[in-house]
């Protein structure tokens, strides 16, 4: 299971760049792809895959948000990744899912049958190279997140998460994060707590604390305003440039 970003072109059917599997390859592959790809939809809250499930496809998120998570026997769960549009699900060479995948909002996947996709990978090296790059980026992000889980305080964890969402949101709008920026939290307090290794009560308390300290402002429960970006960054405990963009 991987959360990977494939560099795709527009296919006219999907709302995102989605024509060929790899933008560096010639569009000849387009015909092949039309044969092996199809779409699936999931409603908010619906499970997409359980760990151990057989997967006959790999897929790319077209719309919506999904989470990658693990659950212990007694119910403790830890989110291990966030899947956003254009992120990749599944891994070549493995038939079963390693983690649970759950739709947070309504989700559309563009699926590729696994066998033909793997064959395509061997015949077009760029795809494998791109996949390797993306996987290495994911690995770096996962390792960055280990620092957050292992060593940061609740307040620093919340600030780190807010900053990640803020940066992703800015990226989506093709802007730089800036003072006064406004964005929506895509996750419930519970989902945040599962991402951060906290309880939902602690998440709520720390968000309130950051609001009272005027590091952030809230409009409703989900919309966040960051009056001073530097102030938020300094709450994360990171050194100035720390590469925490997941």
Residues forming the site for a copy of itself (CB under 8 A): 1-2, 68, 70, 72-74, 76-78, 80-81, 91-94, 98-99, 121-122, 125, 128-129, 131-133, 135-136, 138-140, 142-147, 149-151, 196-197, 237-239, 243
Q: Based on the shown chain and the rule CB under 7 A, indicate whether residue 175 belongs to the binding site for DNA.
A: no
Provide the minimum distance between the beta carbon of 110 and a copy of itself in the complex, in angstroms, as a whole number.
20
Tokens (6 digits) for 147: 């620092």
What is the distance in angstroms between the CA of the first residue and the CA of the last residue of the chain? 17
With CB under 7 A as the rule, give the number of residues binding DNA. 21
Provide the minimum distance between the beta carbon of 103 and DNA in the complex, in angstroms, as a whole number.
13
- Helical spans, DSSP H, in 50-153: 114-123, 125-151
d(CA 237, CA 235): 6
Provide the minimum distance between the beta carbon of 132 and a copy of itself in the complex, in angstroms, as a whole number.
5
Tokens (6 digits) for 241: 């440039």
Residue 40 or 151: which CB sits closer to DNA? Answer: 151
Provide the minimum distance between the beta carbon of 222 and a copy of itself in the complex, in angstroms, as a whole number.
23
Q: Which entry of a copy of itself, DNA, none binds 222, CB below 5 to 8 A by partner kind? A: DNA
Alpha carbon 149 to chain centroid distance? 17
Q: Which entry of a copy of itself, DNA, none binds 221, CB below 5 to 8 A by partner kind? A: DNA
Q: Based on the shown chain and the rule CB under 7 A, indicate whether residue 221 belongs to the binding site for DNA.
A: yes
State which of residues 117, 155, 160, 161 lies at the interface with DNA (CB under 7 A). Answer: 155
The DSSP code sequence of 153-213 is: -HHHHHHHHHHHHHHHHHHHTT----TTEEEE--S-HHHHHHHHTS-HHHHHHHHHHHHHT
Mapped onto helix, strand or coil, the DSSP state of residue 215 is: coil
Q: Which entry of a copy of itself, DNA, none binds 231, CB below 5 to 8 A by partner kind? A: none
Provide the minimum distance between the beta carbon of 111 and a copy of itself in the complex, in angstroms, as a whole number.
19
Q: Which helix (H) or strand (E) holds 232?
A: helix 229-235
């Amino acid at each position: 299971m991987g959360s990977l970003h494939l560099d795709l072109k527009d296919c006219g059917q999907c709302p995102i760049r989605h024509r060929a599997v790899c933008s560096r390859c010639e569009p000849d592959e387009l015909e092949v792809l039309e044969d092996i790809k199809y779409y699936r939809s999931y409603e908010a809250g619906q499970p997409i895959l359980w760990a151990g499930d057989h997967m006959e496809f790999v897929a790319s998120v077209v719309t919506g948000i999904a989470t990658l998570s693990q659950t212990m026997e007694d119910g403790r769960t830890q989110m291990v990744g966030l899947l956003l549009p254009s992120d990749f699900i599944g891994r070549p060479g493995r038939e079963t899912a390693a983690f649970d995948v759950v739709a947070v909002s309504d989700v559309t996947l563009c699926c590729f049958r696994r066998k033909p996709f793997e064959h395509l990978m061997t015949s077009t090296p760029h795809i494998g190279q791109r996949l390797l790059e993306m996987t290495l980026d994911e690995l770096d992000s996962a390792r960055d997140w280990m620092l957050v889980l292992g060593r940061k305080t609740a307040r620093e964890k919340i600030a780190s998460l807010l900053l990640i969402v803020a940066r992703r949101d800015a990226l989506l709008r093709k802007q730089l994060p800036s003072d006064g920026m406004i964005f929506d939290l895509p996750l419930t307090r519970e989902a945040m707590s599962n991402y951060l290794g906290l309880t939902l009560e602690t998440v709520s308390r720390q968000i309130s604390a950051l609001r009272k300290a005027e590091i952030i402002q809230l409009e409703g429960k989900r919309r966040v305003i960051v009056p001073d970006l530097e102030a938020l960054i300094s709450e994360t405990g990171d050194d100035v440039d720390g590469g925490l963009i997941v």
